């Protein structure tokens, strides 16, 4: 179905929805540094680089928008230096949209070396052990200096599940619980979720008030609430009641199951404003992205393509665990195939990108395994390029299916998704 919604606001972000299929939508987000198509997957360039990959090569994978991290760039080289060098776009030589995460996730992920209070978070620097302060005002100042197109509010990300509920990410959850325990009777998960929700709203209000460049940079708020759907309801109502150019779902993929991720997103996304971008933070497995798109999510980011690529794990449409093949494994030693037959990435089809190879030959699984086994840099580069292209092909296939008004094309391209798609398709929607 074709439905057009245009978000024309007093902000430097315009969002147009071109097509819908059930809750799924495809569209275009326009920023001052160009546009990107949705659903969109953002590669993670934590320190203003996609490790080992030239900016032009990142663009050739189909990537239109990148993510940088506020916390890490604040530590090194510092936001003032990047500001003085013309902003993060010029600093990293990327001529396209950039989104910065605020540092709120680091407050969760590095819970063993920080302390939270009502005003903000005190970190122990990973560089020299010194104290680093982050609060809403500092997060806004740093992001204003960095100069991204989209900046995230500083939020309080609590443990998504009770640390005592089961064997999921126990170490990190225990750290997060210990950090947040302020009462003598210890940690209460329901209470912690409510505290985080209320604090996130207050911090968002402070972020909006201290945002110094709203005419140039768009601020997104973040919905929290863990796996408690009532807490999600409470959060989405209050966060989305604050007028902003876009909104995100945070606090998922931090210890909960795949089914819980899908349930949270399926419950939360449709409650968020229709005419503004919806961003699911830190989710990167193919199955999770597809389910989220079918729930109405527009934007994604994750380190999986690049981190797994550096560790010889390649994403493919082949059946198997998370759709990945482990190229260090011995069976690939004499395998003449590309990483994924039919893929158009730099590794699988270098001739398509103008590379002069013997008879247009791809880089073989055998050769790539050799590179990893001998510690050569080219191995991580090739698999990273492939993985980035895999996820950009996925979002392109999703956009095509939504435009066509039928999921059958996506199933034809990725038959392993058939059961997932049918499980997430209402009976009233085409299959």
Distance CA 133, CA 139 (A): 10
**Would residue 344 show up in a list of annotated catalytic residues for this protein?**
no
Distance CA 32, CA 110 (A): 33
The partner residues of 5 in beta bridges, in order of sequence, read 17
DSSP helix/strand/coil, 426: coil
| C-beta neighbour count of 275 within 10 angstroms | 13
245, 219 Cβ separation under 8 angstroms: yes
Strand order in the sheet with 121-124: 114-116, 121-124, 131-134
In the numeric block, the tokens 């038959």 are attached to: 415
- CA separation (Å) from 12 to 15, 35, 213, 245? 10, 11, 10, 9
Which one from 156, 301, 322, 397 is the annotated catalytic residue? 301
| Strand-strand pairing, 150-152 and 121-124 | unpaired
| Strand-strand pairing, 40-43 and 34-38 | unpaired
- DSSP track, 122-144: EEEPTTT--EEEE-HHHHHHHHH
410, 398 Cβ separation under 8 angstroms: yes
Q: What is the dihedral of CA 330, 333, 338, 339, to 10 degrees?
A: 20
**Would residue 101 show up in a list of annotated catalytic residues for this protein?**
yes
Interhelix angle for 378-404 vs 286-295, to 10°?
30
Token pair, residue 207, equals 């972020």
The catalytic residues are 101, 301
């Amino acid at each position: 179905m074709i439905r057009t919604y245009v978000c024309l606001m007093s902000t430097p972000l315009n969002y147009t929805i071109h097509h819908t299929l059930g809750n799924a939508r495809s569209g275009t987000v326009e920023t001052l540094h160009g546009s990107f198509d949705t659903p969109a997957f953002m590669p993670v360039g934590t320190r203003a680089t996609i490790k080992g990959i030239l900016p032009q090569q990142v663009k050739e994978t189909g990537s239109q928008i990148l993510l940088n991290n506020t916390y890490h760039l604040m530590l090194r080289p510092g936001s003032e230096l990047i500001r003085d060098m013309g902003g993060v776009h010029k600093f990293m030589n990327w001529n396209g949209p950039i989104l910065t995460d605020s540092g709120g996730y680091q407050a969760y992920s590095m819970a063993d070396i920080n302390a939270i209070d009502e005003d903000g978070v005190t970190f122990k620097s990973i560089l020299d052990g010194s104290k680093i302060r982050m609060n809403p005002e500092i997060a806004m100042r740093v992001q204003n200096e960095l100069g991204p197109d989209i900046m995230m509010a500083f939020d309080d990300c609590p443990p998504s599940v009770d640390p005592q509920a089961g064997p999921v990410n126990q170490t990190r959850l225990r750290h997060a619980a210990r950090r947040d325990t302020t009462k003598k009777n210890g940690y209460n998960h329901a209470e912690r979720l409510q505290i985080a929700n209320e604090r996130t709203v207050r911090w968002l209000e402070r972020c909006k008030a201290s945002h110094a460049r709203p005419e140039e940079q768009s601020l997104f708020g973040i919905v929290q609430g863990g796996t408690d759907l009532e807490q999600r309801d409470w959060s989405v109502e209050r966060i989305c009641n604050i007028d902003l150019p876009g909104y995100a779902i945070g606090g998922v993929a931090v210890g909960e199951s795949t089914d819980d991720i899908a349930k949270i997103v399926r419950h939360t996304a449709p409650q968020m404003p229709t005419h503004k971008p919806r961003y699911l933070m830190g989710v990167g497995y193919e199955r999770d992205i597809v389910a989220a798109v079918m729930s109405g999510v527009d934007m994604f980011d994750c380190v999986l393509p690049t981190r797994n690529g550096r560790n010889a794990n390649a994403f493919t449409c082949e059946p198997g665990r998370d759709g990945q093949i482990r190229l260090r494994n011995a069976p690939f030693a004499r395998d003449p195939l590309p990483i994924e037959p039919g893929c158009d990435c730099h590794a699988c089809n270098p001739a398509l990108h103008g590379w002069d190879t013997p008879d247009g030959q791809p880089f073989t699984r055998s050769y790539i395994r050799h590179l990893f086994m001998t510690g050569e840099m080219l191995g991580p580069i090739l698999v990273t390029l492939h993985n980035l292209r895999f996820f950009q092909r996925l979002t392109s296939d999703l956009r095509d299916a939504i435009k066509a008004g039928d999921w059958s094309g996506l199933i034809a391209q990725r038959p392993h998704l058939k059961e997932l798609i049918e499980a997430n398709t209402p009976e009233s929607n085409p299959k």
